[in-house]
Amino acid sequence: MSILHRPARLLPLLGVALLAACLSSGPEKTLNALAEALSGNDSKSFMGHVDFKAYAANEISNMTQENRLMGFADSLGRKLGIGGVDRMLNSIVDVENELRQQFLRGVSTGELVADCTQATYPDCPWVPESLRKAKVKKLNDTAAVASVTTPAGITSWLALQKRGDEWVVVGQAALEDTARKYALGTAARPERDGGAPSGQGRGQEGVNI
């Protein structure tokens, strides 16, 4: 066989190598790690791939800026023991701490996966096989979004940011546009005390469980 034909034969192998490199170092690596953590009820590993400070701030943004059902927002606030939306705007730190506890319990008991597998609403993407099959869109070198479709056919969007050599989840949303803003850090930040900035950094967001 002519040596001239060898480069063409190598192209498929190069494609596989490039794909493997992406899966081992890009946002996909984090999504796969989250899937493994959920499958093994490993809450410590799971929480290591989420920026909860950003997640909490963006969850409040979800409830106030996307004009979601206030009944759901108030229900979440009562569930977390921190009151309704108005009080939550002044309680980002409280929301962060409570979300940590919710995820710690939900992942370790398997409750989170069970709930999200059957959920008929968006913002509950925590199903291992769904995370592994997520469709990732890199926005730039440090920001990406991923669409996650659960077995129930419900699609949610995760926002990811690169921190050093690792990618972390900074929020989730029902809409791609919102997730993109969270990933890029361009979403309006929650306000409190009559409009004073909350002081949270850019690129932060919140979670629904």
Contact criterion met (CB below 8 Å) for 192 and 89: yes
pLDDT at 82 (0 to 100): 52
pLDDT exceeds cutoff 50 at 177: yes
pLDDT of residue 7: 53
| Residue 165 structure tokens | 């050599």
Half-sphere exposure of 91 (CA within 13 A, CB side): 15
Helix (H) or strand (E) holding 137: strand 135-140
Per-residue pLDDT reduced to its tens digit, 97-140: 989 999 999 999 999 999 999 999 888 999 999 999 999 999 99
